[in-house]
Amino acid sequence: MKPSGSPHRASPTPTVKSMPDATATDGPTVGQVSTRLGVTVRALHHWDDIGLARPSLRTAAGYRLYTAGDLERLHRIVVYREIGLGLDRIRAILDDSTADVPGALRAQRTQVAERIDRLQQLSAGLDRMIDAHERGLLLTVEQQAAIFGPQWNPDWLAQARQHYGDTTQWRQYAERSASRGPEEWQAIADATAGLDRALGDAMDAGVTPGSPEANQLVELHREVFASYFPLTRQMQVCLGRMFEADPGFAAHYDGIRAGLATWFRRIIDSSARAHGIDPDTATWE
Amino acid sequence: MKPSGSPHRASPTPTVKSMPDATATDGPTVGQVSTRLGVTVRALHHWDDIGLARPSLRTAAGYRLYTAGDLERLHRIVVYREIGLGLDRIRAILDDSTADVPGALRAQRTQVAERIDRLQQLSAGLDRMIDAHERGLLLTVEQQAAIFGPQWNPDWLAQARQHYGDTTQWRQYAERSASRGPEEWQAIADATAGLDRALGDAMDAGVTPGSPEANQLVELHREVFASYFPLTRQMQVCLGRMFEADPGFAAHYDGIRAGLATWFRRIIDSSARAHGIDPDTATWE
DNA sequence: CTTGACCCTCACGTTGTGTGAGGCTGGAGG
DNA sequence: CCTCCAGCCTCACACAACGTGAGGGTCAAG
User: What's the pLDDT tens digit per position in B206-225?
Assistant: 889 888 888 888 999 998 88
Asked which of A99, A119, A142 is the last residue of a domain, the reply is A99
Distance of CA A41 to the CA centre of its chain: 35
- Across the interface, whether the CB atoms of B101 and A133 are under 8 A apart is answered yes
Both A141 and A198 in a single domain? yes
pLDDT at A16 > cutoff 60 = no
Per the CB < 8 A criterion, the answer to whether B199 and B260 are in contact is yes
Look over chain A and give the mean of its residue pLDDT values, rounded to a whole number. Answer: 85
Per the CB < 8 A criterion, the answer to whether B56 and B69 are in contact is yes
Is residue B88's beta carbon less than 7 angstroms from any atom in nucleic acid strand D?
Answer: yes
Q: Which residues of A touch B232 (CB under 8 A)?
A: none
Taking each continuous run of H as one helix and of E as one strand, the counts in chain B are 13, 2
B253, B259, B263, B266: CA torsion to nearest 10 = 100
Which strand C bases fall within 7 angstroms of a protein CB? 6-11, 15-19, 22-27
Ranges of chain B with pLDDT below 70: 1-25
Q: Determine, yes or no, domain membership for B254.
A: yes
Q: Give the pLDDT band of residue A8 (cuts 50, 70, 90).
A: very low
Range of the domain at A36: 30-99
User: How far are the Cα atoms of A86, A108, B134, B179 from residue A80, in angstroms, in the given order?
Assistant: 8, 10, 17, 13
Both A93 and A148 in a single domain? no
Q: Determine, yes or no, domain membership for B218.
A: yes
Per the CB < 8 A criterion, the answer to whether B240 and B269 are in contact is yes
Q: Determine, yes or no, domain membership for A78.
A: yes
Strand partners, A65: A57
Q: How many CA atoms lie within 13 A of B10 on its CB side?
A: 0
Q: Which residues of A touch B130 (CB under 8 A)?
A: 102, 105-106, 109
Measured between alpha carbons, how far is A250 from A258 in angstroms, rounded to an integer?
10
Q: Determine, yes or no, domain membership for B174.
A: yes
The pair phi, psi for residue A10, each rounded to 5°, is: -60, -60
CA dihedral sign of residues B26, A274, A223, A235: negative
User: From the CB of residue A112, how many other CB atoms can be counted at a distance below 10 Å?
Assistant: 19
Measured CA angle at A121 (ends A119, A126), to 5 deg: 90
User: From the CB of residue A41, how many other CB atoms can be counted at a distance below 10 Å?
Assistant: 14
Per the CB < 8 A criterion, the answer to whether A245 and A237 are in contact is no
Both B137 and B48 in a single domain? no
Is residue B7's beta carbon less than 7 angstroms from any atom in nucleic acid strand C?
Answer: yes
- Across the interface, whether the CB atoms of B105 and A129 are under 8 A apart is answered yes
User: How far are the Cα atoms of A131, B42, B51 from residue B46, in angstroms, in the given order?
Assistant: 31, 6, 8
User: How far are the Cα atoms of A132, A169, B34 from residue B73, in angstroms, in the given order?
Assistant: 19, 13, 14
Q: Does B251 touch chain A (CB under 8 A)?
A: no
pLDDT at A18 > cutoff 90 = no
Q: Determine, yes or no, domain membership for A14.
A: no
CATH of the domain at B206: 1.10.490.50
Both B159 and B247 in a single domain? yes
Q: Which of A76, A106, A119 sits opposite B116 (nearest CB)?
A: A119
Q: Determine, yes or no, domain membership for B67.
A: yes
Both A154 and A241 in a single domain? yes
For A12-31, what is the mean pLDDT? 56
pLDDT of residue A10: 34
Both A139 and A264 in a single domain? yes
Range among A107-111, A152-156, A165-169, B266-270 with highest mean pLDDT value: B266-270
Both A254 and A155 in a single domain? yes
Number of domains observed in the structure of chain B? 2
Measured between alpha carbons, how far is B256 from B246 in angstroms, rounded to an integer?
16
Q: Determine, yes or no, domain membership for B138.
A: yes
pLDDT at A241 > cutoff 70 = yes
Per the CB < 8 A criterion, the answer to whether A95 and B119 are in contact is no
Both A152 and A248 in a single domain? yes
pLDDT at A285 > cutoff 80 = no
Both A144 and A76 in a single domain? no
For A86-114, what is the mean pLDDT? 87
Per the CB < 8 A criterion, the answer to whether B188 and B226 are in contact is no
- Across the interface, whether the CB atoms of A125 and B82 are under 8 A apart is answered yes
Measured between alpha carbons, how far is B85 from B91 in angstroms, rounded to an integer?
10
> In terms of Cα–Cα distance, which of A164, A128, A19 is closest to B97?
A164
pLDDT of residue A25: 60
CATH of the domain at B75: 1.10.1660.10
DSSP state of B52: S
> In terms of Cα–Cα distance, which of B159, B160, B171, B169 is closest to B132?
B171
Residue A146, judged by CB atoms within 10 A of its CB (0-12, 13-18, 19+), counts as: middle
Is residue A76's beta carbon less than 7 angstroms from any atom in nucleic acid strand C?
Answer: no
Asked which of B73, B99, B125 is the last residue of a domain, the reply is B99
Q: Which residues of B touch A129 (CB under 8 A)?
A: 83, 105
pLDDT (tens digit per residue) in B74-120: 999 998 898 888 999 999 989 887 778 888 888 888 888 888 888 88
pLDDT (tens digit per residue) in A37-83: 999 999 999 999 999 999 999 999 999 999 988 998 999 999 889 88
Q: Nearest residue on chain B to A231, judged by CA atoms?
A: B69
Both B95 and B162 in a single domain? no
Per the CB < 8 A criterion, the answer to whether B262 and B240 are in contact is no
Which nucleotide lies closest to B63 by the C1' atom and the CA atom?
Answer: C7
pLDDT of residue A5: 33
Q: Residue A108 corresponds to which amino acid?
A: Q
| A43 CA – C9 C1', rounded, Å | 36
Q: Determine, yes or no, domain membership for B219.
A: yes
- Across the interface, whether the CB atoms of B230 and A97 are under 8 A apart is answered no
Q: Which residues of A touch B134 (CB under 8 A)?
A: 102
Interface of B with A in 66-125 (CB under 8 A): 72, 76, 79, 82-84, 97-98, 101-102, 105-106, 108-109, 112-113, 115-116, 119-120, 122-123, 125
Asked which of A79, A99, A119 is the last residue of a domain, the reply is A99
Both B228 and B156 in a single domain? yes
Residue B1, judged by CB atoms within 10 A of its CB (0-12, 13-18, 19+), counts as: exposed
Alpha helices in A205-259 (DSSP H): 212-225, 233-245, 247-256
Both B202 and B159 in a single domain? yes
pLDDT (tens digit per residue) in A179-206: 888 888 999 999 999 999 998 899 889 8
pLDDT of residue A67: 93
Report the length, in residues, of chain A. Answer: 285
User: From the CB of residue B10, how many other CB atoms can be counted at a distance below 10 Å?
Assistant: 4
